[in-house]
Amino acid sequence: MTLERIPYAVGQAVDYLKAFKHIITVETTEPIAFFSYPDKPSLLKSPGTSVHELVEIGEDGVVGLEMLVEAVGASNARAVLQQRADATPPTGALGPASIAQALAAALPENCILVDESLTTGRETMGLTVGAAPHDLINNMGGSIGYGTPVATGAALACPDRRVFCMVGDGSAMYTIQSLWTQARENLNITTIIFANNSYAILKAEYANMGAGAPGERALAMIDIDRPRIDWLAMAKSMGVSAVSVDTAEAFHQAMANSVNESGPCLIEVRL
């Protein structure tokens, strides 16, 4: 059984959760929508689904889970770790599935993956079951610009571990100065920019609010292609080496190469 993230979009989230009759929470609330959308529910569970607070917000989740283990008489049970599945490098076009497969094949053991890929990498968690053991940090709620500074902090805290940061081009522009800090401190970070030259997440929100298809003037405020950002030049200007890729093979190879590099680097994934 693999871990999955609840889909971001309300309709997809409701459909994902409709078969669950019980939801158990640990230091969190029941699943809710990020924003209030017209004619869409804020609570994502199906009618009749029961929510059980195993550990309330502010309590110690580890202690709560340890108490659960003791209560069910599993204190002496041996933990069974999930076996690594086949992590064959993908070929062909780039998409959510091939991106996840490339990650699964390239991530080194004990690395840290910071995921703010939003529209591109939402399916990553369930599809990286074949990856070597690693830590995953992802954003809470609908924040934008979270990824690169969090990756910087993770690398400062764990200098002996490679950090991979996945972020969209729109999100990256909020906090791109992180690259300068990474170069100055020679941090072991591979920043992956998914470049679709647009705030794709904002286009999705435009539709979610029932506003229909955005017009020319609205699109002009969402697209970031006039001028198109030169990510290789951006990285170079801040002292970070960079490469651009447009196939699954090249993406996997660039990530695999970065594992052996010292200091930061950037991979532009052209979508």
Number of domains in the chain: 2
The pLDDT score that the predictor gives to residue 182 is 98
Confidence of residue 167 (pLDDT cuts 50, 70, 90): very high
pLDDT, tens only, 203-220: 777 777 777 777 888 777
pLDDT tens, position by position, 15-30: 999 999 999 999 999 9
Residues 114 and 158 placed together within one structural domain of the fold:
yes
Which pLDDT score, from 0 to 100, does residue 134 have? 92
Mean pLDDT score of the chain? 88
- What value does the mean pLDDT take over residues 240-262? 95
Q: For 217-228, write each residue's pLDDT tens digit.
A: 877 777 777 888
Of 121, 127, 135, the C-alpha closest to 105 is: 127
Residues 59 and 100 in one domain: no
Residue 22 lies in a domain: yes
Residue 102 domain-assigned (yes or no)? yes
Q: Are residues 168 and 260 in the same domain?
A: yes
Residue 145 lies in a domain: yes
Report the percent of the chain where pLDDT is more than 70: 92
Same domain, 37 and 101: no
Same structural domain for residues 52 and 120? Answer: no
Q: Which of 30-39, 156-165, 188-197, 237-246 has the lowest mean pLDDT?
A: 30-39
Q: Which domain holds residue 57?
A: 10-71
Distance in angstroms (rounded) separating the CA atoms of residues 142 and 147: 12
Q: Provide the 3-class DSSP secondary structure of residue 265.
A: strand
pLDDT digits (tens, 9 = 90+) for 23-75: 999 999 999 987 778 888 999 999 999 999 999 999 999 999 999 999 998 88
**Spatial contact of 189 and 239, defined as CB atoms under 8 Å apart:** no
Exposed e or buried b per residue across 233-261, where buried means at least 16 C-beta atoms within 10 angstroms of its C-beta: ebbeebebebbbbebbebbbbbbeebeee
Judge if 180 and 264 occupy the same domain: yes
Q: How much is the pLDDT for 118?
A: 65
**256 and 122 share one domain:** yes
CATH number for the domain that contains residue 234: 3.40.50.970
Domain co-membership, 21 together with 105? no
In a domain, 136, yes or no: yes
> Among 56, 71, 86, where does a domain finish?
71
Token duo for residue 182: 């990474």
Q: Is 113 exposed, middle or buried (0-12, 13-18, 19+ CB in 10 A)?
A: buried
- Between 29 and 3, the higher pLDDT residue: 29
pLDDT for residue 141: 65
Q: What per-residue confidence (pLDDT) applies to 121?
A: 62
Examine the domain organization and report whether 55 and 186 are in the same domain: no
For 123-150, what is each residue's pLDDT tens digit?
677 777 778 889 999 877 667 889 999 9
In a domain, 82, yes or no: no
Q: Based on the domain organization, do 53 and 112 belong to the same domain?
A: no
In a domain, 248, yes or no: yes
247 in Cβ contact with 193 (< 8 Å): no
The answer as to whether 90 is a domain residue is no
Contact 122, 8 (CB under 8 A): yes
Are 110 and 241 members of one domain? Answer: yes
Most confident of the following: 69-78, 95-104, 106-115, 138-147: 106-115
Two tokens at 205?
A: 């929100």
pTM for this entry: 0.84
Both tokens of 114, joined, read 């910071």
Structure tokens at 101: 């497969």
Confidence of residue 119 (pLDDT cuts 50, 70, 90): low
Asked if pLDDT for residue 164 goes beyond 90, the answer is yes
Report the pLDDT averaged over residues 3-25. Answer: 89
125 domain-assigned? yes
Q: Based on the domain organization, do 109 and 21 belong to the same domain?
A: no
